[in-house]
Amino acid sequence: MGSKAPLIVVSGPSGVGKSTVVAEVLRRRPDVWLSVSVTTRDPRPGETNGVEYFFASDREFDQLIATQGLLEWAQFAGNRYGTPRSAVNEHRDRGQPVLLEIEVQGARQVRQAVPDATLIFIAPPTFEELESRLVDRGTEDRAARSARLQAAQSEMAAAQEFDHIIINADVQDCVRALIDSAGLSRAS
């Protein structure tokens, strides 16, 4: 087999609509595999190991790091999250495009590890719009929202490191632009 299938990395600030856009891409392109992350956090009610996440102990996660079993990893809110390298490679080797929805820090690590990856940054139309979306979602208190907005400013500054920046003013337009930018508009 010649070249591997595409590896597409989607990142952007919290509240920009990454999950909504990714879900629609997967609906339109069921041949694309969404990578399942490994985490040290405990499963939440209703979560199944291997579906939402692979749940690992700190020791298991340390072992994955030591053996270069993770394509990227980061710590967030006291827990660690990472992308299993072997699963990504297996799907790409089989010709199946792989999509990662990860933080900017992880995208930087993927850029180093997999130079042919396509990095796509989803941005809000304006910072004020992002703030409004976070308020409207009502999932965090003012302090948590403030922390997310501060992180978003830093992430927005990193957008130029990505291959493509897509403004999510309209989900359907954003999905079309992501599919085109990722080279997924060609027949599979």
Mean pLDDT value across the chain: 91
More confident residue, 8 or 105: 8
Record the tokens describing residue 149, joined without a space: 């907005």
pLDDT band at 186 (very low <50, low <70, confident <90, very high): low
Q: Enter the pTM of the model.
A: 0.89
The CA distance from 133 to 149, in Å, is: 11
Count CB-CB contacts under 10 A for residue 179: 18
Provide the CATH topology of domain 7-181.
Rossmann fold (3.40.50)
pLDDT of residue 64: 97
The CA distance from 119 to 135, in Å, is: 28
> Could you tell me the residue ranges of all domains in the chain?
7-181
Cβ 74 vs Cβ 39: under 8 Å: no
Closest CA to 23 of 91, 122, 137, 135: 122
**Per-residue pLDDT tens over the stretch 105-148:** 999 999 999 999 999 999 999 888 888 877 777 667 788 778 87
